[in-house]
């Protein structure tokens, strides 16, 4: 009668840890190994193996601390994408900052009400905007006046005309 592996195993003894199978670890490539890892060819049975290079180290030299290899390895295309993205983000930040400094991104003034103003001789929309809203950007106020009064150009204003002007 033959015995199998199941029949011959017995219960582990108390105090003795169970035996765990050890999986062999892959060899690390750190430049000091003399073992050459083989790489299979992608196609073609006639490919010749490359000659092996061996790295020799003088005896007595101290080993330098190893640096862990990065888990992320970027391809050429990945580096190009990251470079392009960073240039675009940096360019957008510079453009926004430049427009902010130039005043193009300033918020338009918020007006709460309108008043009627009679246009005098020599008055322009710009001068009316400056006198009614001295603390605001005159260009924004002129634009609001033109929108409120359906004016296409500044020449549409004549002396004696009543126009609505936004104020705070």
Q: Provide Rg for the chain, Cα atoms.
A: 41
* Confidence class for position 77, pLDDT limits 50, 70, 90: very high
The tokens for 129 are 């905007």
Helix, strand and coil percent figures for the chain, each rounded to 5: 30, 5, 60
Q: What is the pLDDT of residue 162?
A: 92
Contact 154, 127 (CB under 8 A): no
| Helix, coil or strand: residue 8 | helix
Architecture of domain 113-167 in CATH? Roll (3.10)
Per domain, the residue ranges of the chain are 75-106, 113-167
105-159 pLDDT tens trace: 666 667 788 899 999 988 889 999 999 988 888 888 898 899 889 888 877 888 8
Q: What is the pLDDT of residue 86?
A: 97
Higher pLDDT, 35 or 94: 94
Q: Is 144 exposed, middle or buried (0-12, 13-18, 19+ CB in 10 A)?
A: buried
């Amino acid at each position: 009668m033959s015995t199998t592996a199941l029949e011959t195993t017995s219960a582990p003894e108390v105090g003795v840890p169970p035996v765990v199978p050890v999986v062999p670890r892959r060899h690390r490539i750190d430049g000091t190994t003399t073992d050459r890892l083989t790489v299979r060819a992608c196609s073609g049975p006639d490919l010749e193996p490359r000659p092996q290079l061996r790295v020799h180290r003088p005896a007595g030299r101290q080993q330098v601390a190893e640096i862990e290899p990065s888990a992320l390895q970027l391809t050429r295309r990945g580096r190009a994408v990251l470079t392009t993205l960073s240039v675009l983000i940096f360019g957008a930040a510079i453009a926004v900052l430049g427009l902010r400094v130039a005043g193009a991104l300033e918020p338009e003034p918020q007006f709460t009400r309108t008043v009627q103003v009679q246009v005098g001789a020599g008055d322009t929309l710009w001068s009316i905007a400056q006198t009614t809203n001295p603390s605001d950007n005159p260009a924004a106020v002129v634009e609001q006046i033109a929108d409120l009064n359906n004016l296409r150009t500044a020449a549409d204003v004549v002396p004696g005309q009543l126009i609505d002007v936004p104020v705070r």
